[in-house]
Amino acid sequence: MAAEAPAATPAHSLQALLDMEKMVLSSKTREAQSPTEKWMRYLGFPGGILLFLLVYYLPAGAGLSGAAQTGTACFALALVWWVTEPFPTYVTSLILMFLLLVTRTSPAKPIMDVLGMEVIWLNLLAFILSSMLVKTRLAKRMALWLIVKFGRKASWALLAFVILQLALSPLIPATAARCVMTLPLIIVVGTIYGSTEQTPNNFGKNLLLLNLAGISVLTSVTMTGSSANLVAVAFIQSMTGHRVYYMDWMIAGAPIAILTMLIMWFVGQRFIFPIAAGDQTPKVEGGLALVEEQHRSMGAFSFQEKKAMVIFGVVLFLWMTDIFHMRWFGVEISAPFAALIGAVLVLFPRYGVLQWSEADIPWHLLIFSAGAYAGGLALEDTGAAEWGVRTLFGGMNLKSIPFGAAFTLITGVMMYSHLLTTSKTVRTIILIPIIITMSKALGWDPVSMALPAALCIDWVVGLPISGKPNVILFSTNQYTVMDNFKFGMITCTVGMVLLVISAATWFHWLGITPSFWAMPK
C-alpha cells in the first residue's frame, strides 16, 4: 500500500540538505509510486462513486432526513477519494463542496463560509510564521542543535521530538500552532536523516507520524489542552453536577497519553516502519561531526534571527496566557488573532522579516481543509452524525453486558469516530451528551463513561483530514494517506487497550469507574 522507499538513501552534502528555501510546501502533487498505489487510484474513482450511489439510494433510516442521507453519501465518496487519491486531495475537496450544493445537502453560504473559519485563518497565519523561521535560518539552527544534542541515533532523535511535543502541549493549546512551530525542525531533521519529499524513508515516516500523534494525543494530558476538552468538562458538570478538576483530568489522562506515545515510539521504528540499519545515523557526508561543524559555523544569532525570536516570543506569550487576556486587555485574543499580530510584525514594511512573496502558503492545503470542514459540518448540521451515533449505540444492546464491555464499546466509538468528523468540538457536542444520557439510562455513574470518553477527544490521528496538524504535516509529501491511516489506527488501538486496562484497574481505584464486571442495574 505504502510508497516504496528506496532501500538505502544516498549521503548528501549538508549544505544541499539544509537549503530550506527549496523546501516549499505550496506546490505539491504526489505522484503514485507503487503498483498498489496506482491500482488504488484507478479503482478508487469508481469505488467512491459506487459507495455514493449505494448510500444515496438505500432505503432511508427512520430518523434520517434526505439531506442527511445525501450528505453521508457525498462524504463517503470524498473519503474514498481522499484515501485513494484519484485526484489530488484538494480537487476532491472542491468536488465535495460542489456535490453538497447540488444534492441539496447544504446551502451555498455555509459551504463558502468554511474558508473564513478560524481554523483556516490559523493555518494561513501559522504558515507565515513558519516561513519566518525558515527564512531567518532560526529553524535550521534549532534543528542542528537538536541533532547535535540528541541525534546520534535515529531512535533518540525521535524520542527528543516526543519530549518536545510533551513539553509544548500544556503551554500552547492550539495544536496547529504547535505543529507549525515544530514543522521546520521536523523537515530539517528528517532531511538530515535522508528523508525528503523525493526520497522519503522510514525514518521520515516515523518522525512525521510520531509528531502527528504526539501533537494530538498529548493534548489530552491536560484539561486545558484544547477547547473541546473544556466543552466536555462543561457538559459533564451541567448534565451530571460533577465537577472535573484539572488534576482529576491529568491523573486519569496523562499516563495513558504518555504511555501510548512511548509505545508508538518503540513500535513505530521497530515494526510499523522499520528503520534500516543504514538509516539509523544522519545521512550526510562527513556524518555527525559535520553537523556539529555546521552548527558551530552558524556563529552567533543574527539580527534577523533575534527579530524572529522576539516575534515568535510575542505570539507564544499570547498563546500561553489566553486565560488572562480578559483581565489584562478586556478581550480574549484567540489563537488565530495572536498569530495574526505575529504575521503583521513579520510582514511589516522595512522592519519586518518577510516580503509577502516569500511567505510559503500552501493554498491547496487550505482548500483541502475547507472541503473537509464543509463535509464535516454538513454531517453535523443535517443531523447525520448524531443519527449515526444513536443508531450505533441503539444496536449494541448495552443493557445486557457488563460495565467493562459497555465501556469498551462506548469509548471505542468515541476514539474511532474522528475518522468521520473533522472537528473535535463537534464530536464532543454530539457524543458526550449522548454518552451521559445513555449511562444514566443504564444505571452507570455518567462520569465513569463520559470522562474516559472525553480523554479520547484529541486523538485525531487516523487521516490527513482528521485535524489541522494532520493537514499541515501531510503537506510534506513524505507519507501516504495509507501510512497515516496505519500508524493512526495502531495509535488509537494502543490507546484503547490502555484505556480498557485503566478502567479495570486504576480508574476503579481512583473511584472513576465501577467494577469492570458489574452488570447494569
Partner 1 sequence: MSRLLLPLLLLGAALSAAEIQSYATRVELSPDGAGRATTTLVIAGAANETVEIPVGLKASGFLLASGPKALGLESRGALVKVVLPPEPGVWTCSFTYTATGLFSPEAVAEGEKAKMPGSSRVVRAAFVNTYDDPITAFSLEVVLPAGYRFQAIKEALPKPTKKEAEPRVRLGRADGRQTALLQAAALKQGDSTSMVLEAVPSSRSLLWLVAGLGIALLYLYMFRDTVQSRH
Give the C-alpha separation, 120 to 115, whole Å: 6
425 φψ region: left (φ > 0), alpha (ψ -120 to 50), beta (else): alpha
Question: Taking CB under 8 A as the rule, does residue 243 contact partner 1?
Answer: no
Give the C-alpha separation, 257 to 217, whole Å: 6
Contact code string over 393-432 relative to partner 1, x by CB under 8 A:
----------------------------------------
Question: Taking CB under 8 A as the rule, does residue 38 contact partner 1?
Answer: yes
Question: Taking CB under 8 A as the rule, does residue 239 contact partner 1?
Answer: yes
Among 13, 19, 98, 104, binds partner 1 (CB under 8 A): 104
CB closer to partner 1 out of 86 and 495:
86
Burial of 501 (0-12, 13-18, 19+ CB in 10 A): middle
Phi, psi for residue 458 in degrees, rounded to 5: -85, 0
Question: Taking CB under 8 A as the rule, does residue 246 contact partner 1?
Answer: no
Question: Taking CB under 8 A as the rule, does residue 444 contact partner 1?
Answer: no
Grid cell of 414 as nine digits: 468515541
| 3-class SS letters over 39-51 | HHHHHHHHHHHHH
Smallest distance from partner 1 to CB 447, Å: 15
DSSP assignment string, 474-517 = HTT-SS-HHHHHHHHHHHHHHHHHHHHHHHHTHHHHTTSS--TT
CB closer to partner 1 out of 86 and 462:
86
Among 219, 226, 382, 417, binds partner 1 (CB under 8 A): 382
Give the interface segment with partner 1, choosing from 20-28, 44-52, 335-343, 351-359 (CB under 8 A). Answer: 44-52
Smallest distance from partner 1 to CB 60, Å: 6
CB closer to partner 1 out of 41 and 153:
41
Question: Taking CB under 8 A as the rule, does residue 301 contact partner 1?
Answer: no
Report how many residues bind partner 1 under the rule CB under 8 A: 35
CB closer to partner 1 out of 36 and 408:
36
CB closer to partner 1 out of 104 and 270:
104
For the CA atoms of 236, 238, 242, 244, the dihedral, rounded to the nearest 10 degrees, stands at 50
Smallest distance from partner 1 to CB 199, Å: 21
Cα of 222 vs its chain's centroid, Å: 17
Among 235, 273, 407, 474, binds partner 1 (CB under 8 A): 235
Q: Looking up cell 499516563, which residue turns up?
A: 255
109 to 138, contacts with partner 1 by CB under 8 A? none
Among 2, 17, 18, 64, binds partner 1 (CB under 8 A): 64
Give the C-alpha separation, 47 to 42, whole Å: 9
Smallest distance from partner 1 to CB 52, Å: 6
Smallest distance from partner 1 to CB 395, Å: 16
- Mapped onto helix, strand or coil, the DSSP state of residue 343 is helix
Question: Taking CB under 8 A as the rule, does residue 433 contact partner 1?
Answer: yes
Grid cell of 373 as nine digits: 470542514
Burial of 24 (0-12, 13-18, 19+ CB in 10 A): middle
Smallest distance from partner 1 to CB 38, Å: 5
CB closer to partner 1 out of 219 and 382:
382
Question: Taking CB under 8 A as the rule, does residue 94 contact partner 1?
Answer: no
Grid cell of 191 as nine digits: 532531511
List all residues 6 or more positions away from 491 whose beta carbon is below 8 Å from its beta carbon: 213, 217, 260, 264, 459, 461
Question: Taking CB under 8 A as the rule, does residue 60 contact partner 1?
Answer: yes
Q: End-to-end CA distance of the chain, in Å?
A: 47
Residues near partner 1, by CB under 8 A = 32, 35, 38-39, 41-42, 45-46, 49-50, 52-53, 56-57, 60, 62-67, 86, 103-104, 234-235, 238-239, 382-383, 386, 433-434, 436-437
